[in-house]
């Protein structure tokens, strides 16, 4: 049986996240306690339930969105179409990096059905996607107002970029490499493919 001792909450959450992502939400709390060399009761004292521990463990750190928001800020300050094009690719790249970390957490959190649905709702509010979407749509509207880009619907354009980045994160795991090349068999970077998808509809005439 595990012993009672003081233990850092970050260590608990990091360990629990690793184990939950490997085994799923059905992993018993005793497995987490065993890995930490503590009593299972310590986990219940800290978190109240296994579901609460699960969602606390897979909550993304707030800083995960910072590189994306910094890239969006640079996009908003673009003074010419070519600058906006380059900045869009940087935003796409940072979205890909974010989703590579966030993807497994999203799948785990959305697939689980907790006894208390409010736990999942609170977890969803920790996700960075809404903040990124809002910042990106405002940046695109600013560029449209300054006639740097043609953006009929900034929210739809932001959604397109975010959705394309998520798809580009998943597709390489589902398709063979030869299907990710262009007609000249040149492998394009995921960031290029994602930003091109949006740029095609926004470049000024």
Same domain, 69 and 53: no
Shared domain check, 41 and 91 = no
Instruction: Indicate which CATH number applies to the domain containing 45.
Output: 1.10.10
Q: How far is CA 138 from CA 36, 124, 128, 149, in A?
A: 45, 22, 16, 13
CATH code: domain of residue 128 = 1.10.357.10
This prediction's pTM: 0.82
pLDDT in tens, 145-170: 999 999 999 999 999 999 989 988 87
If asked whether residues 129 and 152 sit together in one domain, one would say: yes
Q: Report the alpha-carbon distance of residue 95 to residue 194 in Å, rounded.
A: 10
- Count of structural domains within the chain: 2
Last residue of a domain, one of 57, 72, 91: 57
2 in any annotated domain: no
Tens-digit pLDDT profile for residues 110-119: 999 999 999 9
Contact 132, 68 (CB under 8 A): yes
Structural domain harbouring 151? 62-202
Q: Could you tell me which of 169, 173, 159 has the C-alpha nearest to residue 99?
A: 169
């Amino acid at each position: 049986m595990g012993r009672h001792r003081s233990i850092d909450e970050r260590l608990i959450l990091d360990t629990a996240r690793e184990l939950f992502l490997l085994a799923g939400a059905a992993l018993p709390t005793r497995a987490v306690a065993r890995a930490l060399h503590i009593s299972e009761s310590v986990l219940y004292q800290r978190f109240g339930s296994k579901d609460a521990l699960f969602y606390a463990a897979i909550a993304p750190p707030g800083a995960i969105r910072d590189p994306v928001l910094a890239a969006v800020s640079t996009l908003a300050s673009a003074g010419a179409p070519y600058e906006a094009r380059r900045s869009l690719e940087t935003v796409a790249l940072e979205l890909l990096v974010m989703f590579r970390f966030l993807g497994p957490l999203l799948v785990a959190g959305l697939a689980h059905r907790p006894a208390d649905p409010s736990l999942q709702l609170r977890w969803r509010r920790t996700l960075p996607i809404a903040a990124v979407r809002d910042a990106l749509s405002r940046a695109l509207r600013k560029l449209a107002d300054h006639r740097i880009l043609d953006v009929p619907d900034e929210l739809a354009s932001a959604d397109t970029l975010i959705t394309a980045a998520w798809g580009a994160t998943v597709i390489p795991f589902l398709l063979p490499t030869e299907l990710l090349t262009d007609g000249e068999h040149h492998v394009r970077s995921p960031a290029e493919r994602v930003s091109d998808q949006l740029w095609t509809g926004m470049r000024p005439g």
